[in-house]
Amino acid sequence: MLVVPSTLKIYNASAGSGKTTFLVINYLYVLLKSPYPDEFRKVLALTFTKKASEEMKNRILQCIKEFSKKKVKKEYRFLFDYIIKNFNLTKDQLYQRSEKILFFILHDFYSFSRNISTIDKFTYNVIKSFLSEKNIHLELEMDTNQFLLQIVENILYRLNRSEKWSNILIQSSLEKLREGKNWDLKKELLKIAHIMVDENNFFSIKKIKNYSLEDFLQLKNILIRRTKIFEKKCKKKGENFFKILEKTSIQKHSFIHLDIPRFFNKFKNGNIFFNPFNKRLEKYLQKGTFYSKFLSDKNQKILIDNNRNKILFLYEKTKFLYKKNISNYILDKLILKNINILSIIHEIEKELHHIKNEKKIILNAELNKILYEKIVQGIFPKMYEKIGMQYKHYFIDEFQDISFLQWKNIQILVENALSENGSAMIVGDPKQSIYRWRGGDAKQFINLIYLKSNNYKKKVKTIEKNFRSHEEIVKFNNLLYQSISKIFHDTIYQDIYKNYKQKIYKKYGGYVEINFIHDSNKNYKEHIYLKIKKKIERLLKQKYTLSDIAILVRNNEEGYFLSEKLMEDGVLVNTSASLLIKNHFEIQIIINFFYIIAYPYRYQKRVILIFLLLKNKFIRIKKNHHDFITKTLFLPFNLFLKKIFSKNLLTLNKLYNKSIYQISEDIIEAFGLFNRKNSTYIYSFLDFVYRSMKKVGNSIINFLDYWELKKEKESIVISDHINAVRIMTIHKSKGLQFPVVLIPFTDWNIFSKNKEKVWINVNPSLYNGLNPIYLEIEPYFKHIKHDNDIRDFYDYYLSNIKFDNINLLYVATTRSIEQLILFSKLGNDKSISFYIKNFLCEKKMWNENKCKYIFGKDKKGY
């Protein structure tokens, strides 16, 4: 009998659409409609974060628990009535089925809990089961950074003892210095090691990881030879022009606007990387205009006219040479910039393989790649057959954040379930795709919606209502993002926002306020802070509590600035930004002291330490600071210590043969760093030191490397239950909601300044068999107008970056329930604020002299 495949249900769930409730209802539907009370064993629900899986688990369990009672609590009554009405169940049937399901869940809680999981945990469990069957025992290494640091240390040790590699590394260092860039080999190697384990680079690394040093050296020689030949030909064209001038006595100032001499001068001097042609020159040459009509020297006019064809012929030959070769030349030059460091990939791959085998570990960062390879190789069919038999229903949440490999690893199971009359439901929102750097790809979700499949039918639906925000906030966001949709050239991205319009559930209230700072002479950050402080005072008068207020920032630096200012003014703050232990001067003193112990003659660290001690009055001097620094900075280490310690409490001998932990305690005691106010930070730092010693041993240099890797995450945890203003990055706010949201710096650059690394396909016959090639996207790519491939590639990159940043704004402006308040300064067309201004202009609200724009009515609390 022919089995008709089931339908894959895809739901586009915008912010505030009650996605978690929606998933819970559909999960309950599967359980309550089944005649089997243990149907939960056949349901796999995958989320993106642990927090989301725990929330879903708790909501499902709480619902079933409530439904199994005769008296349902008020907060669950709506859901109870909804299920009775839509699932065609009587009250008694719902009670009885819920009671049975609850009994089975409690007696097999392991299966229930395991089957509502993060995608990463599911992947790990699959791999773990396979390895157990093969009797292979491997440990999961979660700390990828630390593992890769060890790899780099091992490679450096080997490379420095190899004459061949030493020459390459010295050459790389000199090339970087010539470019005016700092060269830290360890950092460069660590960067490459991260590229190798990052799943975004999986397919490209797979193609080139066996490309040996000799292959790279051969390619480098080919590229150097090829670029030099082209440069030499270009130079000759430029020289030929000036030889014509010399032979004919034509003065270069006789040419109109000096355009022709300037053009050939660029070729003569090798200034050819950027397009040397210009529209004005082309226009004049087509018209035959070589000199200005105001040229008074008739002899010069005659000389130019007599040699016009010769110059024009040389120009056309130069143009032909340039157009024919420039694309490959640019690519060759870009590849040469990275080739020395890329040549180490093979060595890193060998070391990675060796250490993983020796320690019997698998990296957490490589789980998706491992599973994908096993599936492709056909090694996992039995394991997947077993999983396919185990699960009949699939729920996948936050699909826009799922990577290509994650989806490919699950897709086979989903399609199998659908072919056997199972079910599958996918929920996502491309507008909330803000993790592209981590592999999340909104286009994967978009393709799933629009592309046809031969394996199953699809049903796509948009969850239209916004259950989170009050009316004015929903209306504001609807209008804002329909306006912003016009900035996208990519029709896919444009349609996502153009068609965005949520229905209003809370048909009352809501307040939106946009504040523009016009006076650029004022200290912008300070000005914003004063506005934030004043707004918080007003909100408190409106009977909001501090914990009702969330301040969303673009980065930790902004969060740290605001949290420090608020705490100075006595406002309680709950934020990971201000609680990072690296931000406190006591910790900075200890770390800089460690640096000067490890590197006694690194004078930059001595300067930082002295400034910290002077600023915080640990050194008290009457004379000017400059004289003290000048006299102290270059002293031998022991004399330096005597100078910065008034009572000679710490000497080199006292630090000798001690653990890092003991040295930390000695530094704290010697400087008198410990007090009641900072005790939490000091204890947290000492705890970090203790944990680090277990990881990297008692080497100060290794400890400092470990600190650099971990310092952005080491913080003190504060309970969410305290009454404090919450300050967090927009990324961390995703999935959360707050009565009031303040966005203080709504003016970030829509095009990130961070250089992105990409792989670009090339013709392997031109690159010694190598394809693809790794490049850093540079801002000057926008000036490369003569190479369509690079230009198109750069435009595609910019389009993605623009989408990422609009999505960030979308996530930020959709967190609020009752009030949304934005603060910004006017910026150019690269700033988020520019598009907010455009929106106000479209609504005929914009006024150059106006600072505040309001949607809805503000609460009057006083």
- Summarised one tens digit per residue, pLDDT across range 321-333 is 998 898 889 889 8
Cα-to-chain-centroid distance, residue 723:
31
Q: Which of the pair, 344 or 412, is modelled with greater confidence?
A: 412
7-133+383-463 and 481-578+721-753+801-856: identical CATH topology:
yes
Q: How far apart are CA 140 and CA 127, in angstroms?
A: 11
Q: Which of 379-383, 529-533, 647-651 has the lowest mean pLDDT?
A: 647-651
Instruction: List the chain domain ranges.
Output: 7-133+383-463, 141-209+341-362, 220-340, 481-578+721-753+801-856, 581-710
- What global pTM score does this model have? 0.83
Average pLDDT over residues 227-244: 95
- Summarised one tens digit per residue, pLDDT across range 286-308 is 888 888 888 888 899 889 889 99
Average pLDDT over residues 98-127: 93
- Summarised one tens digit per residue, pLDDT across range 813-862 is 999 999 999 999 987 778 999 999 999 999 999 998 889 999 998 876 44
Q: Which stretches within 430-583 are classed as H helix?
A: 442-450, 471-484, 491-498, 524-541, 556-568
Which CATH superfamily, name and number, covers 7-133+383-463? P-loop containing nucleotide triphosphate hydrolases (3.40.50.300)
Q: How far apart are CA 278 and CA 299, in angstroms?
A: 28
- Summarised one tens digit per residue, pLDDT across range 64-94 is 999 998 788 888 888 888 888 888 889 999 9
Provide the CATH topology of domain 481-578+721-753+801-856. Rossmann fold (3.40.50)
Q: Which of 148-152, 594-598, 638-642 has the lowest mean pLDDT?
A: 638-642
Q: Which amino acid, 324?
A: K
Q: Which stretches within 288-430 are classed as H helix?
A: 298-306, 308-342, 345-359, 367-376, 381-390, 404-419
How many CB atoms within 10 Å of residue 530?
A: 13
Query: Omega of the bond prior to 261 within 30 degrees of 0, cis?
Result: no
How much is the mean pLDDT over the chain?
Answer: 86
How many CB atoms within 10 Å of residue 284?
A: 19
pLDDT band at residue 335 under the 50/70/90 scheme: confident
The CA dihedral of 763, 766, 769, 774, to the nearest 10 degrees, is: -60
pLDDT value of position 832: 93
Q: In 579-592, which positions are buried (b, 16+ CB within 10 angstroms) versus exposed (e)? A: bbbbbbebbbbbbb
